[in-house]
Chains A and B, each alone.
Chain A
Amino acid sequence: MGWFTRKKEGISTSTADKKETPEGLWYKCPKCKAVITTEEHKSNLHVCAVCNHHERISASDYFELLFDSTKGTEFARGITAADPLEFKDTKNYVDRIKSVQEKTGLKDAIRVAHGKMDGDVIVIAAMDFRFIGGSMGSVVGEKIARAIDKAIELEAPLIIISKSGGARMMEAGLSLMQMAKTSAKLNQLSEAKLPYISLLTDPTTGGVTASFAMLGDVNIAEPNALIAFAGPRVVKETIGRDLPEGFQYSEFVLEHGFLDLIVDRKDLKSKMSQLLRMLKLEKAQKEEE
């Protein structure tokens, strides 16, 4: 027996008397279910004010967050996917690319730009999960290569923001080789003694984890981001039992020694600037000697 009983059956408020809420005015956190206004959520950098859940954001959101005044100068914008394998599953790869491009307004799963961060020149490559799960094909590989070339040209540090389900299946062997290509290019960046910060965001898995994302001079992650080689579902199938709490999330990965630090989105810019300043100071001293 409940404490309160409904006297009248059904809903008695007439449609005319109901309060209207326009779409998109409120944001409900998928994790803690707290409800705040979209505007407030946006000013919180898409981080839940209650539980600190970091919502996935786009490449351009990161540019806005990290570059000083403008969104930076984007380059290599004209590079798009070809279809050398003429890949076809339930859909042609070319058609898939076209429809995702129209839907998202993106060219592919990564954007690269240079600009200034706290006054210093920086090159940023930011992945975008909306484009076929942020998957890495030839375009992602080539754009990272261009970003590294640009960093070497400008003698600037590089930040790669990973957010990817892994290699893009529709480019098969070619996408696998992008793991090798990006790692080869990182050798050149290292040769030029330029710092590389890898920022791992939710989710970073598969071939991206097994190449550039794990190869930062400093590996930073946003809180509670899934970071894995094999995804949780695959691991669960392999071992045939439930996974421990927090398995493969930032905090877990840090505890196992594969991250340098976890940084809240609001502190990313200042923390990375601080680190880069320290790296630069040491370099300047050496030059004076």
Chain B
Amino acid sequence: MANYLPFEEPISLIEEEILKAKEIGANSGVSTSKMVKDLEKKLKTTTEDIFKNLTPWQRVQLSRHPDRPYTLDYINAITGGDFVELHGDRNVKDDKAMVGGFGTVDGQSIMFVGQQKGINTKMRQYRNFGMPNPEGYRKAMRLFRLAEKFNKPIVTFIDTPGAFPGLEAEERGQGEAIARNIYEMMNLKVPVICIIIGEGASGGALGIGVGDKVVMLENSWYSVISPENCSTILWRSWDYKEQAAEALKLTSTDMKALKIVDEVIKEPIGGAHRFKEEAFENVKKSILKNLTKLQKMDPDKRCEKRINKFCEMGVYKGK
């Protein structure tokens, strides 16, 4: 059973009608094919209308859509299942909110790492809602180093509401773990591509977000804080999340304009959750295109360029 967001309601109604029309056709023998065709046309235009003018808050909702593909969905689709997940940070434990391992795409092996969310209540808890602990970031770094040792490129998938703000997380140095990753990722001698596929919340996202190319899916968001928390702090109430989403300029279009991300991957009209295969294909194409370019560069030059890119970020006046 598909899930629908409030603004997707019109889509759900038409889809229901189509199903009914098909059912009548099958049961009564009366031809409903014209009716189905008309409805499908209507579905297409309605979807287009809705997705043409999405507000920032609607995009935030889409980024969290329960049917939206998660990190392992992308990895499995892109590698065609030729993927070996590797576990543990060799220190504390295996963080289920951060997954990673080697996979192959078009005959070359790639290290994939990303935050993982769960598909139902039980799995969401198991994955800690995609909120890694310090060991998650250290596991990611261990895998990055492994990739570097064998000269394999790295692709990260970012999808997190933030790093976990728990007691043990603080004890084990959440801040240090993220800081270390940001610092070390600058100097990884292999190509690094980071793709924000859903939520890109703050340091928790940036902890695996330093790359030669940082790419965002069209209906994902990336910012220093979630709109809800921003609303709570600045307006002292949760009710201003829509305004906060506007103010934070967190959409892919805004982030590209601010030169914080390098590229936006178009999603099929209707969203990645409705046309998953197409979304997987777009992501795969983007990865291969960027890898081809990055692999031609000298490793030291590539690091230098990566460092310089981040050094130039920020907008200020005067000198």
Contacts and interface: CB of A to CB of B under 8 A. Distances in A.
Interface of A: 76, 78-82, 84-85, 87-90, 137-139, 141-142, 145, 167-169, 171-181, 183-188, 206-207, 209-215, 227-230, 234-235, 238-239, 243, 247-248, 256-258
B215 interface: no
B13 interface: no
B313 A207 contact: no
> Which of B187, B233, B311 has most A Cβ within 10 Å?
B311
A210 B210 CA distance: 14
Contact of A214 (B175, B235, B314, B319): B175
Contact of A85 (B180, B249, B308): B249
B286 interface: no
A217 B9 CA distance: 55
Contacts of A257: 173
Nearest to B221: A173
Contacts of B166: 235, 238-239
B1 interface: no
Interface string B160-178: 0001111101111111101
Given A90-B234, A186-B183, A174 B318 contact: no
A188 B167 contact: no
Contacts of A89: 234-235, 240, 243-244, 247
A100 to B, nearest CB: 15
Contacts of B112: none
B307 interface: yes
A138 B316 CA distance: 6
Nearest to B162: A230
Contacts of B308: 184
Interface stretch (B39-47, B222-230, B270-278): B222-230
A240 to B, nearest CB: 10
B175 A229 contact: yes
7 contacts: A176-B222, A180-B182, A184-B186, A185-B311, A207-B224, A211-B179, A235-B167
Contact of B319 (A78, A88, A180): A78
Contacts, number: 193
A180 B176 contact: no
Given A187-B187, A230-B170, A174 B317 contact: no
Interface in B276-319: 306-308, 310-319
Given A210-B174, A258-B176, A181 B223 contact: no
A67 to B, nearest CB: 23
A138 B250 CA distance: 17
B140 interface: no
B265 interface: no
Given A184-B186, A210-B163, 12 more contacts: A81-B317, A82-B315, A85-B247, A89-B240, A174-B258, A176-B202, A181-B310, A183-B210, A187-B307, A210-B178, A211-B178, A238-B164
A116 B171 CA distance: 37
Count chain B CB atoms within 10 A of each CB in A183, A209, A212 and give the residue with the most: A183
Contact of A248 (B170, B233, B313, B317): B170
Contacts of B254: 173
Nearest to B202: A176
Nearest to B313: A177
Q: 3 closest A-B pairs (Cβ-Cβ)?
A: A230-B165, A138-B314, A209-B175
B314 A142 contact: yes
B260 interface: yes
Nearest to A248: B170
Interface in B92-125: none
A80 B223 contact: no
B155 interface: no
Contacts of A214: 173, 175-176, 179-180
A79 B318 contact: yes
Given A173-B222, A235-B167, A209 B316 contact: no
A210 B255 CA distance: 22
Contacts of B317: 79-82
Contacts of B233: 169
Nearest to B172: A256
Interface in B195-232: 202-203, 206-207, 209-210, 222-225, 230
Contacts of B210: 180, 183
A172 B249 contact: yes
A173 B225 CA distance: 9
Contacts of B11: none
B248 interface: yes
A180 B206 contact: yes
Nearest to B131: A238
Contact of B315 (A88, A138, A227): A138
A226 to B, nearest CB: 11
A79 B318 CA distance: 5
B170 A228 contact: yes
A194 to B, nearest CB: 15
Contact of A178 (B169, B202, B255, B313): B313
Nearest to A231: B165
Given A78-B319, A84-B258, A174 B314 contact: yes
